[in-house]
Structure 1
C-alpha cells in the first residue's frame, strides 16, 4: 500500500510514524525543508520538499497509482487543492482532507458526497469534542472507545483502594463474576504496559483497560465499584474553537454550561452565538472566580485553552476544590508521562484525536480499526477472521499468538463473547486483540499473512 502524506507537522509526522512501523510505502511532502529533513532522519519513509498543491511535486511524490492521499497541512486551502489535483492525476486514489476552518463545517456532507476529489473530511476540533464527550460520562475513566459500530466498549480507568477487584488474581474473575466478568486487556503499572495472564493480580493504583458488551457497561462498572452519574453541569475554560463546539454539543443534550474566556472580544462573540450557555470573562487560573461560580457543584470541568500550562493549572485547581471529573487539553507530548504523577488522568489532544480518526478511516480489508492507548505503548486491533487463518484452527489456548498479545473479544453475528481458553474463533468472526507496542509488528505480520491485513 502506497500512501502520500501532504504536511509534515504534528498530524502528518505521527501518521507517517505509525504507518512506517507497518512497513507501508509512505511518502511525506512538505514545503519546509527542515521538516522533511527531520522526518527523513527519524522515520523509514521517503520525503519530497515542495508544495502539495503543486502538480509537479505530487508527481515527484508518486501520486499516480498511490492508494491514499492524506492532506493534513495547517492550510485548508492547500489541502483542498492537493485533493483536487490528485483527482486529476490519479482519480482512483482515495483522498482524505484535514479541514479546520469552521466555515467549511456546513459543507462537510456536500463536499464528501458531491466533490469527486474528496472522500472524507477530518476536523481535529470535532474529533477532540467527541473524545471529551466519551470521557465525560464515566467518573474515573481516562480513556474510552468503541468497536463493532458501538456494540463493544473499551474503558481505561484507575483502580482505587476500595475497588472490589484490587488485589484479585485475574483467574478468579470467572469464579467471582461468572459470565458477566470484565476482561482486563491491559494493566499499566509504573508507566509499563502489561498484557495480563491468569496469575496476574490487579493492584490499587493500576490503570486498567477492560472490554465489555456496550449493553452491559453499566453493570460491568458496578462490578468494578464505579457508579455512573449523569452529567448535568459543566464548566469549560477556554472559548476557542474546541470550547465553542463542546458547548454547542452539550447544549443539545440540555446540559447546563458555563464558559470562562480571557479575551473580552471573544466573550462578546460567544455570547452572541450561544443559546443557554453562560459566558464569563475571566482568567481560568482565578481561584476566586471558581469559588464564585460554585465550581465544586460542577459535574465536570474541561480546560481547553491553547496554553498547556493554563490547562494543567485549571485541572489541578478544580480537583483541589472538589471536582473529580476534570478533562485537560494537552498539545506537548513531552508532558504526557508527567501528568498522572500529579493527578491529571483525562487528557485530550486534537492531534491525537485526528491521527486516530484518520488511521481508522484508511483501514481496509479484514483489519477494521486500530486504536492506540497510553501514548501509543499498546494497541487494540479489530479484525475479521478468515477460514485460512490459523486462529480458526483450534481452541484459543492452542493458538500461538505473539508474546505480548491477547485476544479480548469475539463477535459472532449477534453474540458478543468474552473468550476463555476453550473458546474457538470461527471464520467470519470479528475479533478484537490487544498488543504491546513491541509486539504490534509481529501481530500485524501475522494478520497480514493470514488475515489479509489490507
Structure 2
C-alpha cells in the first residue's frame, strides 16, 4: 500500500516507522528542513520537505497514486486543509486527519476514530481516546490497562500481581483454576513473553489476562490479590487529556481533583467541570503533592503536556502513598523509564494514533487491534470461509500460529476460552496475542485467497 504521512512529530514518525517495517511504501512530508535531515537516515520512507497542504507538493509526489493519506501535524487546521485538498486530488484514497478540537467532530460520543467533516473520510483524536483508556483502567479495580474486543463482549486486561495474589509461586500449568479466564502472557522488568506451563509468577509481574466482560472484574481482582476500588483520584494537568478524563469520571462516585500549574487554565477548567475540585498547584514536588492529599488518593494520573514532569509527579505520588499511579508518556525515549521508576502504567497518545490509522492498512479480516506498552500486541481477526486456518485445531495448527497465542474465540454469542483440540470455524472472531511484531504476517491465514 502507498501511504502519505503529513507531519513528522511523534505521531507521524511512529506511524511511518511502523508502516515502513510492515513493507508499505511511505512518504513523509515535513516542512522543517532540520527535521527532514534527521529523519532521512532513520526511516524506511521517502522524506520530503514541504507543505503537506500544498496542492503543488502533493502533485509532485504523486498523490494520484496514493492509497492512504494521514495528516497528523500538531495543528488541526493544517490537517483538515491537507486532507481536504488531498481528497480533491484523489477521491478514491482514504483520508485521515488528526483533529483535537471537538468543534470539528461530526458525531457525538465518539471513539478515537470517526467520520470526518468536509469530505474527509475519518478524523482521529488520540487525546480523547487516551483519556477514555485511562478511565477504563481506573474503573476496573486491580487493572492498569483494559481493552475490549468483540463489540465489547471480551476484555483484555493488564494486571499487576499483588503480594496477596493466589498465583505467587504457582506454575501456570495450574492456570485452569482461573477459568473462565485465561492468562496469555506476562512481563517482568520490562521483558514480555507469552505464557508457558512451567512459568512461575512473582509479586510485581504484569499479567495479560483475557475473559468475557462479565467475568473480567472478578478475575482481575483475584489476580491482583488486593484490588482497592478507586474512590479518590488526583489528576496532574488540566489539559485536554486531564479535563476529558475528569469529565468521564465525574458522573461516577469517584471524587476527582485536578492539579493545574497555570492559573488561567485552572480557572477555565474549574468553570467547565462543576463536579471536580480544581487546584492551582504545580503538582510535581513532594510538598505540592502532600498539600493536595496525594497520600490518601487511590489513583494518581499524570497527564500534563510534559513527559518529564509527568514521570516525576507519578514517581513522587507513588512514594508518598498513592495506590495506583499512571502517567501519560508521549515520547518514545521516556517509555523505558516507566518500569525503572516502578510507575504502574503509562498511556501513549502516539500508540493510540498509530492503532487507529493502522487499521486502514490491514486486510478485511482485521476487526480490531491494540498495542500494549509492555510489548504485547493483540489482533481480533474474523475467520473467512476458505482461509487456511479453517478446520485447524488449537495445538495442531501446523506452525500457522507459531509465536502467537489464541486468547479467546468469539463464536456467535459465545466467548470460548481456548483449549487444545478446539476447532476454528469460518465466521469465528479470534483474539490473537503476540510479542513485538510476531503477528505481522498472521492475517493471510485468516483471509480467503482471492
TM over 0.5: yes
Map of 1:142 onto structure 2: 144
- After TM superposition, give the deviation of residue 408 of structure 1 in Å: 1.5
Structure 1 segment 374-413 matched on structure 2, within 5 A: 374=373, 377-399=375-397, 400-413=399-412
Map of 2:45 onto structure 1: 45
Q: Which stretch has the larger CA shift, 411-420 or 261-270?
A: 261-270
Q: Which stretch has the larger CA shift, 20-29 or 226-235?
A: 226-235
1:451 to 443, 447, 450: 447
Say if 2:228 is the partner of 1:213: no
| 1:29/1:61 contact within 8 Å kept | no
User: Which structure has more helix as a fraction of its residues?
Assistant: 1
Name the CA shift for 1:361/1:274 in 2 (closer, same or farther; >3 Å). farther
Paired with 1:183 and 1:242, the residues of 2 have a C-alpha distance of 32
Map of 2:331 onto structure 1: 332
- After TM superposition, give the deviation of residue 17 of structure 1 in Å: 1.4
Map of 1:128 onto structure 2: 130
Structure 1 segment 40-439 matched on structure 2, within 5 A: 40-101=40-101, 103-104=103-104, 115-174=117-176, 176-177=177-178, 179-180=179-180, 182-226=181-225, 228-253=227-252, 255-360=254-359, 363-374=362-373, 377-399=375-397, 400-439=399-438
- After TM superposition, give the deviation of residue 87 of structure 1 in Å: 1.9
Name the CA shift for 1:447/1:289 in 2 (closer, same or farther; >3 Å). closer
Paired with 1:5 and 1:225, the residues of 2 have a C-alpha distance of 41
Q: Which stretch has the larger CA shift, 21-30 or 207-216?
A: 21-30
Residue 283 of structure 1 aligns to a residue in which SS? Answer: coil
Name the CA shift for 1:452/1:341 in 2 (closer, same or farther; >3 Å). farther
Residue 196 of structure 2 aligns to a residue in which SS? Answer: coil
| 1:395/1:423 contact within 8 Å kept | yes
| 1:112/1:118 contact within 8 Å kept | no
Paired with 1:108 and 1:222, the residues of 2 have a C-alpha distance of 33
Superposition RMSD in Å: 2.7
- After TM superposition, give the deviation of residue 407 of structure 1 in Å: 1.5
Paired with 1:109 and 1:343, the residues of 2 have a C-alpha distance of 34
Paired with 2:41 and 2:385, the residues of 1 have a C-alpha distance of 41
Paired with 2:9 and 2:365, the residues of 1 have a C-alpha distance of 30
- After TM superposition, give the deviation of residue 296 of structure 1 in Å: 2.9
- After TM superposition, give the deviation of residue 74 of structure 1 in Å: 1.5
| 2:236/2:258 contact within 8 Å kept | yes
| 2:52/2:82 contact within 8 Å kept | yes
Name the CA shift for 1:85/1:220 in 2 (closer, same or farther; >3 Å). same
| TM-score normalised according to structure 1 size | 0.90
Paired with 1:146 and 1:362, the residues of 2 have a C-alpha distance of 21
| TM-score normalised according to structure 2 size | 0.90
- After TM superposition, give the deviation of residue 14 of structure 1 in Å: 0.7
| 1:367/1:453 contact within 8 Å kept | no
Q: Which stretch has the larger CA shift, 305-314 or 87-96?
A: 305-314
- After TM superposition, give the deviation of residue 55 of structure 1 in Å: 1.0
- After TM superposition, give the deviation of residue 373 of structure 1 in Å: 1.9
| 1:135/1:346 contact within 8 Å kept | no
Name the CA shift for 1:80/1:109 in 2 (closer, same or farther; >3 Å). farther
Residue 27 of structure 1 aligns to a residue in which SS? Answer: strand
Paired with 2:15 and 2:169, the residues of 1 have a C-alpha distance of 38
| 2:10/2:330 contact within 8 Å kept | no
Q: Which stretch has the larger CA shift, 289-298 or 409-418?
A: 289-298
| 2:406/2:430 contact within 8 Å kept | yes
Name the CA shift for 1:185/1:107 in 2 (closer, same or farther; >3 Å). closer
- Segments of structure 2 that go 5 or more residues without pairing to the other structure are none
Q: How many residue pairs end up in the alignment?
A: 447
| 2:168/2:201 contact within 8 Å kept | yes
Paired with 1:208 and 1:113, the residues of 2 have a C-alpha distance of 35
Map of 2:29 onto structure 1: 29
- After TM superposition, give the deviation of residue 60 of structure 1 in Å: 2.7
- After TM superposition, give the deviation of residue 263 of structure 1 in Å: 1.8
Residue 154 of structure 1 aligns to a residue in which SS? Answer: strand
Residue 395 of structure 1 aligns to a residue in which SS? Answer: coil
- Segments of structure 1 that go 5 or more residues without pairing to the other structure are none
- After TM superposition, give the deviation of residue 64 of structure 1 in Å: 1.3
Map of 1:11 onto structure 2: 11
Paired with 1:362 and 1:129, the residues of 2 have a C-alpha distance of 25
Name the CA shift for 1:84/1:427 in 2 (closer, same or farther; >3 Å). same
